[in-house]
């Protein structure tokens, strides 16, 4: 295979992001079908991307080699199963599903079908997080002692998200922890390692049934480090999506702030040395550390064409789901300590 017919299920915000990203990557793709029950969205997406509007999910699936699942979360498991039945390669958005059990089933189906699968945990490609991991893994930093991870955004049923489904538990599953901070949970695992115990509390200020808008978790990592995750969906439209991560190693302090991708990342060592990288300088610093390009979509296509596994795959997502579920279990029991 020298080029790949790509189909899209869902033609909203993240589908548009991936479509543009595929174009920027220069990957050899043929634009096949797109389906969205919102016909106007499908038409606008098709006009901008060169895809062809289909009348059904099946029409998309029957006309492509690889499919992007960019729909509401409740539909991900069913659509992934339909894709694996046809042996299609899949890029599935996060969260995979509402529960770890469903996510595990999806990963098992993908594995059994022998397809290439990737999940939209795109921070795995971020120069800011890759550089921070490099700083953490440097032996001169010493061991990670603790991490403070804060993530805040205005509740994404407004503003440029233009989505109401994130207020409907039957479509989104839960609130800020599952829908948004599964990225953060994945980055905590990426930066520091596996988590052995969690204790968490959630709150619901907006009053949407089952949609927590605050999640605060205390973590114990298997390597002995501790951490705190604080995730909030507020109504401050001046703050669209902002993270601040502070990592304390024995002899190095690291801060990721500003842009999720381009930093800056700043650090201070015990000998007084300081450093800061952002933008193109940050991208250049991590380029030698990458296996491929910085483009998640280009890398997905490359993995499919080379007939190999992609990264991050559904198994990586399952591990993040497991941690998210443990946090919900703890929150439901007033912060009880849960073994992950």
User: Which structure tokens are listed for 227?
Assistant: 């951490």
Sole binder of ligand NAD in the list 3, 26, 28, 37 (CB under 6 A): 37
Residue environment code for 148-176, b if the CB has 16+ CB neighbours within 10 A, otherwise e: ebbbbbbbbbeeebebeebbbeeebbbbb
Contact segment (CB under 6 A) with ligand NAD among 35-43, 211-219, 227-235, 320-328 equals 35-43
Contact segment (CB under 6 A) with ligand NAD among 67-75, 130-138, 270-278, 301-309 equals 67-75
Cβ distance 299 to 124 under 8 Å?
no
* Residue 299 in the binding site for ligand NAD (CB under 6 A): no
Sole binder of ligand NAD in the list 7, 22, 36, 125 (CB under 6 A): 36
* Residue 231 in the binding site for ligand NAD (CB under 6 A): no
CA 222, 259, 324 angle in degrees (round to 5)? 35
Sole binder of ligand NAD in the list 4, 6, 9, 225 (CB under 6 A): 9
Contact segment (CB under 6 A) with ligand NAD among 9-17, 142-150, 241-249, 268-276 equals 9-17
* Residue 159 in the binding site for ligand NAD (CB under 6 A): no
State how far the Cα of 121 lies from the Cα of 183, in Å rounded to an integer. Answer: 6
Compute the chain's Rg from CA coordinates: 20
> Cβ closer to ligand NAD: 150 or 251?
150
* Residue 18 in the binding site for ligand NAD (CB under 6 A): no
Fill in the per-residue mask, 248 to 287: x = in contact with ligand NAD (CB under 6 A), - = not in contact: ----------------------------------------
State how far the Cα of 339 lies from the Cα of 24, in Å rounded to an integer. Answer: 43
* Residue 57 in the binding site for ligand NAD (CB under 6 A): yes
* Residue 122 in the binding site for ligand NAD (CB under 6 A): yes
> Cβ closer to ligand NAD: 124 or 133?
124
Pairing outcome for strands 66-69 and 89-92: parallel
Q: Which residue has the CB atom at the shortest distance from ligand NAD?
A: 12
* Residue 243 in the binding site for ligand NAD (CB under 6 A): no
Please list the residues that pair with 268 across neighbouring strands.
Answer: 253, 274
State how far the Cα of 192 lies from the Cα of 179, in Å rounded to an integer. Answer: 22
275 contact partners, CB below 8 Å, separation of at least 6: 266, 267
Beta-strand ranges (E) seen in the chain are 4-9, 29-35, 52-53, 66-69, 89-92, 117-119, 144-154, 195-203, 214-221, 226-234, 242-249, 252-259, 263-269, 274-277, 338-339
Helix ranges (H only) for 76-215 are 76-85, 100-113, 127-137, 169-172, 176-179, 182-191
As measured in angstroms, the least distance from the Cβ of 249 to ligand NAD is 28
* Residue 320 in the binding site for ligand NAD (CB under 6 A): no
As measured in angstroms, the least distance from the Cβ of 162 to ligand NAD is 7
Q: What is the longest distance spanned by two Cα atoms in the chain?
A: 64
* Residue 33 in the binding site for ligand NAD (CB under 6 A): no
Q: Reduced to 3 states, what is the DSSP secondary structure of residue 334?
A: coil
As measured in angstroms, the least distance from the Cβ of 319 to ligand NAD is 16
* Residue 167 in the binding site for ligand NAD (CB under 6 A): no
* Residue 38 in the binding site for ligand NAD (CB under 6 A): yes
CA 39, 166, 122 angle in degrees (round to 5)? 90
* Residue 73 in the binding site for ligand NAD (CB under 6 A): yes
> Cβ closer to ligand NAD: 48 or 222?
48
Interactions with ligand NAD, residue window 92-111 (CB under 6 A):
93-94
* Residue 35 in the binding site for ligand NAD (CB under 6 A): yes
Residues found near ligand NAD in the complex (CB under 6 A): 9-15, 35-38, 41, 57, 70-73, 75, 93-94, 120, 122, 163, 165, 179
């Amino acid at each position: 295979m020298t080029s790949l017919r790509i189909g899209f299920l869902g033609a909203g915000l993240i589908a548009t992001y991936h479509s543009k990203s595929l174009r920027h990557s220069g990957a050899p793709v043929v634009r096949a079908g797109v389906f969205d029950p919102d016909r106007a969205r499908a038409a606008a997406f098709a006009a901008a991307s060169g895809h062809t509007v289909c009348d059904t999910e099946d029409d998309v699936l029957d006309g492509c080699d690889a499919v992007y699942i960019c729909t509401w979360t409740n539909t991900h498991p069913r659509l992934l199963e339909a894709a694996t039945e046809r042996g299609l390669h899949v890029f599935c958005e996060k969260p995979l599903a509402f529960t770890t059990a469903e996510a595990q089933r999806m990963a098992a189906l993908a594995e059994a079908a022998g397809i290439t699968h990737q999940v939209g945990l795109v921070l795995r490609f971020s120069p800011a997080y890759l550089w921070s991991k490099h700083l953490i893994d440097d032996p001169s930093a010493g061991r990670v002692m603790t991490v403070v991870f804060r993530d805040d955004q205005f509740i994404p049923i407004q503003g440029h998200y233009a989505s109401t489904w994130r207020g409907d538990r039957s479509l989104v599953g839960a609130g800020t922890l599952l829908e948004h901070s599964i990225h953060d949970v994945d980055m905590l695992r990426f930066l520091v390692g596996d988590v052995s115990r969690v204790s968490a509390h959630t709150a619901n200020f907006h009053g949407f049934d089952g949609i927590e808008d605050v999640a605060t978790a205390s973590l114990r990592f298997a390597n002995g480090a501790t951490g705190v995750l604080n995730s909030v969906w507020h109504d401050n439209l001046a703050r669209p999506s902002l993270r601040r991560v502070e990592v304390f190693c024995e002899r190095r302090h690291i801060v990721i702030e500003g842009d999720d991708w381009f930093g800056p990342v700043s650090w201070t060592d015990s000998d007084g040395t300081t450093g800061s990288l952002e933008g193109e300088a940050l991208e250049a610093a991590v380029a030698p550390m990458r296996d491929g390009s910085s483009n998640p979509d280009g890398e997905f296509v490359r993995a499919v064409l080379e007939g190999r596994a992609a990264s991050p795959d559904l198994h990586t997502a399952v591990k993040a789901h497991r941690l998210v579920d443990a946090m919900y279990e703890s929150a439901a029991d007033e912060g009880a300590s849960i073994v992950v």
